[in-house]
Amino acid sequence: MKNLFHTNTKIIGLLGHPIKHSFSPFIHNLACQILELDYVYLPLDVMSSSLKNALKGIVALNIKGFNVTIPHKEKMLSYVHQSSEEATICGAVNTVVNDMGKLYGYNTDVYGILETLLPYKDEIINNEVTLFGAGGAARSVIYTLARHFRPSRINIVNRTEQRAETLKEYFNEKMKYDNFMAYELFPHGLLEVLRGSKLIINATSVGMYPEIDDTIISLSNAFQKDQIVFDLVYNPPKSQLLKIAESEGAVTLNGIKMLVYQGAKSFELWTGQEMPVDKVMTGLENYISI
Ligand code: NAP
């Protein structure tokens, strides 16, 4: 990678803690390199106790924008001057634009999920979806489904059932969409729920590197030929869950497209340029498989 920064090189970055396993620096610096943009994307490893000071520093240093990750996504909502509808309803900001000291918050995960699922829109509308997880990513999934796909029902399954219940009530009120069911992990009868679902989504961290042999669904014959199984996990690209789903005939989608497209939207907000997503996706796939 060409590494020639100038006195007017613009700084963007990733704010979170820990961030050492993130692929975002790779994605954005590759895109800048391909487009020959004079930007550099830096890791900004900041703990919760330093968040407020870090934001003052970002403004003082005229850092143009940044991604936000664990554990600051929810907190960031209260620090931005304005937030998009997606960020406000999802309750999480993953992208901030610094416009001369005014911070604008966005949630581009929604865009990544939308791009991943759009090719299957006709199959999702008016059919059932089962979602595993009730954390930040699950919120973005629910928002996207309720806003853009209107499935006949969204079954939210979570280890801590109360969190699934909370999401059900929250989105019911916020989005005027009341076709939710909340379940704990694997109660009696969940197999039937899975078999009745056109789309199954894993938005838990189960199966993510380094725990690559774990899977959130270990029931046999849970999947079918006409089902779509979307695992938000992107490392490994083919999770244990996707391996099983594929062996049972389902169409499988990993989290790489979501990751690149959420990055593409952030990139556009900062630079005004379209990310060369195909080249970045190929580069990322090669990078992850090394
Ligand atoms: P989070 O807010 O920490 O939520 C984690 C979720 O996973 C919770 O629902 C949690 O259940 C569940 N969980 C964790 N360990 C579990 C276990 N051992 N058994 C069962 N459930 C378990 O995390 P997040 O930000 O939503 O991220 C979730 C996943 O999505 C991660 O793998 C992340 O990398 C991925 N992600 C991908 C993209 C992408 O672009 N592809 C973007 C964002 C996130 P409890 O509520 O019971 O704790």
DSSP string, 210-264: T-TT--S---TT---TT-EEEE---SSSS-HHHHHHHHTT-EEE-SHHHHHHHHH
* pLDDT reported for residue 2: 55
Respond yes or no on whether the N-terminal peptide bond of residue 119 is cis (omega within 30° of 0). no
- Whether the pTM exceeds 0.85: the reply is yes
Domains defined for the chain, CATH in brackets? 10-107+257-289 (3.40.50.10860), 111-254 (3.40.50.720)
Residue that the structure tokens 């600051």 belong to: 72
203 CB less than 6 Å from ligand 1?
Answer: yes
Ordered per-residue pLDDT tens for the chain, 290 residues:
555 678 889 999 999 999 988 999 999 999 999 999 999 999 999 999 999 999 999 999 999 999 999 999 999 999 999 999 999 999 999 999 999 999 999 999 999 999 999 999 999 999 999 999 999 999 999 999 999 999 999 999 999 999 999 999 999 999 989 899 999 998 788 899 999 999 999 999 999 999 999 999 988 889 999 899 999 999 999 999 999 999 999 999 999 999 999 999 999 999 999 999 999 999 999 998 86
* pLDDT reported for residue 76: 97
CA of 206 to the centre of ligand 1 (A): 7
69 in Cβ contact with 94 (< 8 Å):
yes
Burial of 111: CB neighbours in 10 Å, binned 0-12, 13-18, 19+: buried
How crowded is residue 14: how many other Cβ atoms within 10 Å of its Cβ? 22
254 in Cβ contact with 238 (< 8 Å):
yes
| CA–CA separation, 39 and 10 (whole Å) | 5
204 in Cβ contact with 216 (< 8 Å):
yes
In 89-198 the beta strands, taken as DSSP E runs, fall at 95-99, 102-106, 128-132, 153-158, 180-184
27 CB less than 6 Å from ligand 1?
Answer: no
Of 132, 204, 258, best ligand 1 pocket probe by most atoms within 8 Å of the beta carbon? 204
How crowded is residue 1: how many other Cβ atoms within 10 Å of its Cβ? 7
CA of 147 to the centre of ligand 1 (A): 22
CA of 19 to the centre of ligand 1 (A): 16
What phi-psi label fits residue 163: left (phi over 0), alpha (psi between -120 and 50 degrees) or beta?
Answer: alpha
197 CB less than 6 Å from ligand 1?
Answer: no
Which atom belonging to ligand 1 lies closest to the Cα atom of 112? 40
Query: What is the rounded (10 degree) CA torsion for 109, 111, 117, 118?
Result: 180
* pLDDT reported for residue 218: 86
| Atom 11 (ligand 1) nearest CA | 159
Give catalytic residue positions.
73
| Atom 18 (ligand 1) nearest CA | 206
Of 205, 238, 284, 288, best ligand 1 pocket probe by most atoms within 8 Å of the beta carbon? 205
CA of 116 to the centre of ligand 1 (A): 18
